Amino acid sequence: MFCENKKIAYLYSEIANSLNIYFQNTMIMAIKIAVLSQKGGVGKSTLARAVAVEYAKHGWNVKIADMDLKQRTVATWNAKRLDSNYEPKLEVQSFANVKDALKQEKNYDLIIFDGAGQADLQTLEIATASDFVILPSGLSSDDLVPQIKLAHELRKKGIERRKIGLSLSRVGASERELKDAQEYIELAGYKFLGRIDEKTSITQAHDIGRAANETKYESINKVVDEVIQNIIDSIDALAESVEN
């Protein structure tokens, strides 16, 4: 495990071995994580960047595939990160389609697909290509209902339930609202990955090329790291279940 106070359970090669991701029997392919949504602005790029930073900190060679050619949010963000010489260094590339991104997978340990603003034809293709799918959502039913609907649609198209997790973005002060949203996710039968609070310091971090787990405040970074830890644990569990 990566985040503070947890043991590192799996090295990349061990996870890749367990997931049987070989190419021509010798080449190990990248693990793929998708961050997708039905609606725009729910925190996909926020999570994609934070997850990328955590894995890269532990020596994984990470590429973020920015699937939104119109916005290129993460590509622009990474240019600032590189300018400021922040570690760990990440690679970000915009892709028009999944096939082009997958062509590069033997060069990376991890590819994180940062989905386009709204679900489109590529959404299913990205989910199908990925080992784990994260669906971030705001707390309101305006956000939650379409995200659960997307999760159900992915299930219908053959994506396994255990490969899907939902997180809550821009969480405010109301614990009640958070609890209700978590219950809604769990009653729908999906794994709850945790919450990221609404914080100005997260926006400020993004503005200078830092991720949500690299803000000035350890307390904020810790909460974001808990979500990432749950994602890492979910992927480790998938690898373990394939092994056994």
Which residues of this protein are in contact with ligand ATP, per CB under 6 A?
37, 40-46, 68, 71, 73, 117, 169-170, 196-199, 202-203, 206
Give SS3 for 244. coil
> Where in 56-95 is the site for Mg ion (CB under 5 A)?
73
Quick one: which of 19, 29, 44, 105 contacts Mg ion (CB under 5 A)? 44
Asked if 110 and 31 count as a contact pair (C-beta separation under 8 A), the reply is yes
Pair 57, 130: CB distance under 8 Å: no
Residue with smaller CB distance to Mg ion, 36 or 193: 36
Does 45 contact Mg ion by CB under 5 A?
yes
Stretch of residues binding Mg ion (CB under 5 A), selected from 27-35, 36-44, 50-58, 84-92: 36-44
29: which DSSP letter? P
Please report how close the Cβ of residue 124 comes to ligand ATP at its closest, in angstroms: 17
> Between 119 and 159, whose beta carbon lies closer to ligand ATP?
119
Name the packing angle between helices 175-187 and 141-156 (round to 10°): 20
State the chain's maximal CA–CA distance in angstroms: 52
Both structure tokens of 104: 């590069």
Query: 43 with 198: CB under 8 angstroms?
Result: no
CB of 128 to ligand ATP, least distance (A): 20
- β-bridge pairing 31-35 and 62-66: unpaired
- Binding marks (x or -) toward Mg ion, 166..205, rule CB under 5 A? ----------------------------------------
41 interacts with, out of ligand ATP, Mg ion, none, CB within 5 to 8 A per kind: ligand ATP
Please state whether the peptide bond connecting residue 88 to the residue before it is cis, i.e. omega within 30 degrees of 0. Answer: yes
Residues that bind Mg ion (CB under 5 A): 44-45, 73
